[in-house]
Amino acid sequence: MKPNPKKVPLDFDPVTEVSRLKSQTKAIRKRNYSQRKSVLDNYHGEIIILLSHGATATEVHRWLRELKVKISLSTVTRWIKKNG
């Protein structure tokens, strides 16, 4: 079975195409350093009040799970360290 190569258009410039593709790759890989919003930000006030009344990170995590917020304990702990 013989491969059937497609005809390359006459106006095809491989240097331009590679340059365009590399610039797309660079744009895709560019990191966004803006602050992302956490799900916990929606409960900021309540979490701070719970902590000020002596709740631990584990108790805050359990409280959030009761509210059907799916989040790990390590995320709660990091959020408290940063915002609490």
Query: Per residue in 2-52, pLDDT tens?
Result: 666 677 777 888 899 999 999 999 888 877 766 778 899 999 999 999 999
Taking the domains of the chain in order of start, what are their residue ranges? Answer: 39-83
SS (H, E, C) 10-70: CCCCHHHHHHHHHHHHHHHHCCCCCCCCCHHHHHHHHHHHHHHCCCCHHHHHHHHHHCCCC
Task: Give the N- to C-terminal CA distance of the chain in Å, as an integer.
Answer: 68
pLDDT of residue 4: 64
Average pLDDT over residues 45-66: 96
Average pLDDT over residues 57-84: 95
* Structure-token pair, residue 12: 């095809």
Question: In the numeric block, which tokens belong to residue 29?
Answer: 């890989």
Is residue 75's pLDDT more than 80?
A: yes
